[in-house]
Amino acid sequence: MKEEACIFCRIANGEIPSKTLYEDEKYRVILDLGPATRGHALILPKDHYKNLYELPEDACGEVMHLAKKMAVRMTGKLGCSGFNLVQNNGECAGQTVMHFHLHLIPRYEDDHQNINWVPGKPGQEELEEIRKTICGQP
């Protein structure tokens, strides 16, 4: 399933050119046009899934396999020291393109990037209330 109006459908399926690092029948990995660091890439499924909620189970595994393969290859070639894998779901989470994608962000010792959050300080009671909300009792 592709969506005519979806830019990532069109890139993933080769209708719009991209700097492609990898391609197979189901996925394309491209360089991000607004990279956080040198080599920042995106894994795009060729089929249209809006986000993680819509991504089929088997694709979840395939995407993570591909992420590992690319991270190992890119680490060897780029000489980065680490990686962030980022996947935003929904506008409130920072998703701007509504076609599932996984960010592969190489990290370098002095890259001055900030892929962080401000840690909260929940007490044990609050953590337990959250755990129960998610898992039910007990």
* 50 touches 98 (CB < 8 A): yes
Cα 133 from Cα 2, distance rounded (Å): 36
Q: What is the DSSP letter of 13?
A: T
Applying CB under 6 A, the residues found at the interface with ligand AMP are 7, 18, 30, 32-34, 88, 94-97
The pairing of strands 41-45 and 82-86 is unpaired
User: Which one of ligand AMP, Zn ion, none interacts with residue 48, CB within 5 to 8 A by kind?
Assistant: Zn ion
Query: Minimum Å distance from CB 15 to Zn ion?
Result: 11
User: Which one of ligand AMP, Zn ion, none interacts with residue 9, CB within 5 to 8 A by kind?
Assistant: Zn ion
If 0-12 CB within 10 Å is exposed, 13-18 middle and 19+ buried, where does residue 39 land? buried
The answer to whether 101 is a known catalytic residue is yes
- Alpha-carbon 74 to chain mean position: 16
Closer to ligand AMP by Cβ: residue 23 or 32: 32
Out of 28, 40, 48, 101, the only residue in the binding site for Zn ion (CB under 5 A) is 48
Selecting among 40, 48, 99, 101, the annotated active-site residue is 101
Closer to Zn ion by Cβ: residue 4 or 109: 4
Residues annotated as catalytic (active site), given as ranges = 101
